[in-house]
Amino acid sequence: MEDIIKELEARRLNAKLGGGQKRIDSQHKKGKLTARERISLLLDEDSFEEYDMFVEHDSHEFDMQNQKIPGDGVVIGSGLINGRTVFVYVKDFTVFGGSLSLAHSKKINKIQDMALKNNAPLIGVLDAGGARIQEGIDSLGGYAEVFQRNVLASGVIPQISIIMGPCAGGDVYSPALTDFIFMVKDTSYMFVTGPDVVKTVTNEEVTSEQLGGSEIHTTVSSVADGAYENDLEAMEQIRDLIDFLPSSNINDAPIKKTEDPIDRVEDSLDTLVPDNSNTPYDIKELVLKVIDEGDFFEIQEKFAQNIVTGFGRFNGFTAGIIGNQPLHLAGVLDSDASRKAARFVRFCDAFSIPLVTFVDVPGFLPGTSQEYGGLIKNGAKLLYAYAEATVPKVTIITRKAYGGAYCVMAPKHLRGDINYAWPSAEIAVMGAKGAVEIIYRNDLEDSKKIAEYTEAYEDRFLNPFVAAERGYVDDVIMPHNSRNRIIKALKMLRNKKLSNPWKKHDNLPL
Ligand code: HXC
pLDDT in tens, 218-245: 999 999 999 999 999 999 999 999 999 9
Residue of 170, 194, 212, 213 with catalytic role? 170
Q: Which of 286, 280, 334 is nearest to 307 (CA)?
A: 334
162 confidence band (pLDDT: 50, 70, 90): very high
Query: Is residue 334 a part of any domain in this protein?
Result: yes
Query: Is residue 256 a part of any domain in this protein?
Result: no
13 and 81 share one domain: yes
Residue 97 has pLDDT above 90, yes or no: yes
302 and 239 share one domain: no
Atom of ligand 1 nearest to the CA of 140: 51
Is 306 a pocket residue for ligand 1 (Cβ < 6 Å)? no
Query: Is residue 297 a part of any domain in this protein?
Result: yes
For residues 381 and 325, what is the distance between their CA atoms, to the nearest angstrom? Answer: 19
pLDDT at residue 11, rounded to an integer? 94
The neighbour count for residue 217, using CB atoms within 10 Å, is 25
Tell me what the mean pLDDT of segment 189-193 comes to: 94
Query: Is residue 501 a part of any domain in this protein?
Result: no
Q: What is the pLDDT of residues 47-68, one digit of tens each?
A: 999 999 999 998 888 988 988 9
Query: Is residue 467 a part of any domain in this protein?
Result: yes
For residues 465 and 476, what is the distance between their CA atoms, to the nearest angstrom? Answer: 8
Residue of 136, 316, 404, 434 with catalytic role? 404
Q: Tell how far the Cα of 368 is from the centroid of ligand 1, in angstroms.
A: 42
Residue of 153, 401, 405, 467 with catalytic role? 405
Q: Tell how far the Cα of 164 is from the centroid of ligand 1, in angstroms.
A: 14
For residues 296 and 313, what is the distance between their CA atoms, to the nearest angstrom? Answer: 8
Tell me the pLDDT of the chain averaged across its residues. Answer: 96
pLDDT at residue 401, rounded to an integer? 96
Q: What's the number of domains the chain is made of?
A: 3
Tell me which residue range forms the domain holding 380.
Answer: 267-425+463-492
Confirm whether 169 is a catalytic residue. yes
432 confidence band (pLDDT: 50, 70, 90): confident
445 confidence band (pLDDT: 50, 70, 90): confident
pLDDT at residue 36, rounded to an integer? 97
Q: What is the pLDDT of residues 458-496, one digit of tens each?
A: 888 899 999 999 999 999 999 999 999 999 999 999 999
68 and 33 share one domain: yes
453 and 467 share one domain: no
Query: Is residue 504 a part of any domain in this protein?
Result: no
Query: Is residue 502 a part of any domain in this protein?
Result: no
Query: Is residue 451 a part of any domain in this protein?
Result: yes
395 and 280 share one domain: yes
pLDDT at residue 444, rounded to an integer? 81
User: Where would I find the H helices in 19-96?
Assistant: 21-29, 35-42
404 and 443 share one domain: no
The neighbour count for residue 36, using CB atoms within 10 Å, is 17
Is 246 a pocket residue for ligand 1 (Cβ < 6 Å)? no
221 and 278 share one domain: no
437 and 367 share one domain: no
Tell me what the mean pLDDT of segment 435-444 comes to: 88
